[in-house]
Amino acid sequence: MQSLIDKKNRIKELTALLSEASKAYYAEGREIMPNIEYDALYDELLALEQETGIVLSGSPTQNVGYEVISELPKERHQSPMLSLNKTKSVEELQGWLGDKKGILSWKLDGLTIVLTYEGGELKKAVTRGNGEIGEVVTQNAKVFEGLPLKIGFKGELVIRGEAVIKYSDFARINEELPEADAAYKNPRNLCSGSVRQLDPSITKERHVNLIAFQLVKAEGVDFNNSFKQRFEWLREQGFEIVEYTEVDRDSIGAAVEDFKERIASNDFPSDGLVLCYEDVEYGLSLGRTAKFPRNSIAFKWQDETAETVLRKVEWSASRTGLINPIAVFDPVELEGTTVSRASVHNISIVRELGLGIGDRIKVYKANMIIPQIAEDLTKSGSLEIPSVCPVCGGGTEIRRDKEAETLYCTNEDCAAKRIKSFTLMVSRDALNIDGLSEMKLEKFIQAGFIRAFSDLFELERYKEQIVSMEGFGEKSCDNLLSAIEKARDTELYRPLYGLGIPGIGLSGAKLIAKHFDSDYDRIKTADKEELLSIDGIGEVLADAFIAYFSDGGKRSEADRLMDKLRIRTEASDDEGDSVELSIGGESLQVRRDRFAGQTFVITGDVEHFKNRRELQDIIELLGGKASGSVSKKTSFLINNDINSTSSKNKKAKELSVPIMTEEDFIELLRT
């Protein structure tokens, strides 16, 4: 039996441990322990505090969130944003509701934002922060998807909503963003990092959604004391509101079960439900505790766990060099699906769990969606950390990143780090291998099928393994291999562009290929003088080109690739004098030399093109150049905000460089 001193020491230990976990979760957007473990330790601490009457300063049962630490401006909330008391028992929900009616809704797992509207316009957005002080993210909130910037109501309106990133967007973003592999493990963490960006354009790219869940103030509006009417009024103003249903003591059990059955098909993250009193004044009359309001309560899912055996750990290298451990165990049934794999995230968690091959482990699904290891019951701690990268065989090293130990590949030429270079090589303007997406490339690299460009044309030998991969079948594999075979017949400028030589865009590759009559042997041995004789190739590009082919490894890889190709030498004659472009649904026939001798600089957001890169590619396709800075040689600056006071706009005006919008550019294509 524990003595009072033992219990006090345990309280001290739990307070420190949970405070660190809260700091990581709320302030840094990362997790250092599974949710199930945090909840269990929190319940243990709360029980000890109630039993002993001892509550230490800084206890997570008394504090809300954690002090914000970013560079964003801070602001104190008009009223504290408290956490909700929680339960995992439907019977407790029934007892809490009593004979009252309630509103049951999803408990969204994102970042809580307080929004203030004045005169019908969004004036301010502040994060929850530590419950007392939040961070001002108004500019970022203005790019949230589905959030109205103007509403019909002109009085002061204050609402609370949850910024969330959908699972589908999370998967796509993790494929596109190099830093996502290292920094973000779930949609909630990615959302936290996205909302708190100093650059709103990054927030916009990550498709953050705002879902309203509470109306705090609507000046002069009578809602007849109804929580439901508040929701419906917000919907009328143009807000996306959280899904809810009206319940009473008798119907709440079935309602909880209905929500539970739909979790697996949800595209947004949720970690439970929230129950509020439909009678707003009654709920407010109950007051609050030091941490919890009494007018609402959270329902957390009862995590279904299963015991199994850890059979192996796969080490998955990413484009950042980060090597993530993935646990593979005997299949078990969880929440209606079969689970056999779970990400362990980093070395610190491997060591904290005490993992070893053959250990008996307990697994669960976080938020009933994401498989996690809750506990290693054996704790052998015998798992060996690999000393070499599973993709390239290069050395590895353990680094400390935000207090967590992570494993990295030290080889700069690791194929996993070169995913972007492979993506460029198979792109439309390079080898144009239809159906070979970045996600598929990453799978092939992880499997060891691709290490160099030439390996793209050796995938036939792995057909049996490819067909068995998730997302593939006999037909899709045959289609891919057919597209690869078709790509063997190509013009030299395409693989030359695909090599990714710094500064050598599509137009530069065409100029070089044409000058040397598509003779690769002459091109790779070209000297600076001959390169400079090409109109459009300056000293910087010539130096970059020579440096590339002076690197023995890069030159050897390019040689092996060229050996796999059948080069057509009359590309310009075959292609004709014009090219067909499709822009915003409009088809334009444009001369290939339309922008010959002209240099463009692109800045700001684009609206008619996927991104600035697409606009740059079109300029180069039509014989022009795209530069990163404005100079006397600049022909046009493209910026949709002509009146911007940006440095590029100022420089363009100083040098009398014309500034055009995208619309002006498209009109130029029409003429």
- Would you please indicate which residues are annotated as catalytic (active-site) residues? 107
Whole-number Cα distances in Å, 666 to 301, 639, 648, 670: 54, 13, 21, 7
Q: Are strands 244-247 and 86-87 parallel, antiparallel or unpaired?
A: unpaired
Distance between CA atoms of 424 and 182, rounded to whole angstroms? 22
Whole-number Cα distances in Å, 114 to 140, 229, 289, 347: 13, 20, 22, 36
Distance between CA atoms of 248 and 104, rounded to whole angstroms? 10
Strand stretches in 628-666, DSSP E: 636-638, 659-660
End-to-end Cα, the chain, rounded Å: 88
- Number of other residues whose CB lies within 10 A of the CB of residue 562: 18
Amino acid identity, residue 316? S
The 3-state secondary structure of 179-202, one letter per residue: HHHHHCCCHHHHHHHHHCCCCHHH
The closest alpha carbon to 114, from 72, 86, 75, 145, belongs to 75
DSSP-assigned states of every residue in 394-447: -BEEEEEETTEEEEEE--TT-GGGGHHHHHHHTSTTTT--TT--HHHHHHHHHT
Sign of CA pseudo-dihedral 65, 180, 190, 201: positive
Whole-number Cα distances in Å, 478 to 50, 148, 423, 433, 598: 66, 47, 20, 13, 43
Cβ within 8 Å of residue 100, ≥6 positions away: 248, 277, 278, 279, 282
Compute, in degrees rounded to 10, the torsion defined by CA atoms 170, 173, 179, 184: 0
The token duo for 527 is: 């000297």
Distance between CA atoms of 588 and 670, rounded to whole angstroms? 7
User: 146: exposed, middle or buried (C-beta count within 10 Å: 0-12, 13-18, 19+)?
Assistant: exposed
Answer whether 318's CB lies under 8 Å from 406's CB. no
Answer whether 284's CB lies under 8 Å from 278's CB. no
Amino acid identity, residue 231? F
For residue 541, the number of C-alpha atoms closer than 13 Å in the C-beta half-sphere is 22
Distance between CA atoms of 151 and 139, rounded to whole angstroms? 17
- Number of other residues whose CB lies within 10 A of the CB of residue 57: 7
- Number of other residues whose CB lies within 10 A of the CB of residue 509: 25
Q: Are strands 625-627 and 599-602 parallel, antiparallel or unpaired?
A: parallel
Residue showing tokens 């472009």: 581
Distance between CA atoms of 524 and 560, rounded to whole angstroms? 13
Distance between CA atoms of 329 and 307, rounded to whole angstroms? 10
Amino acid identity, residue 338? T
Q: ∠ CA 455-458-462 to the nearest 5 degrees?
A: 115
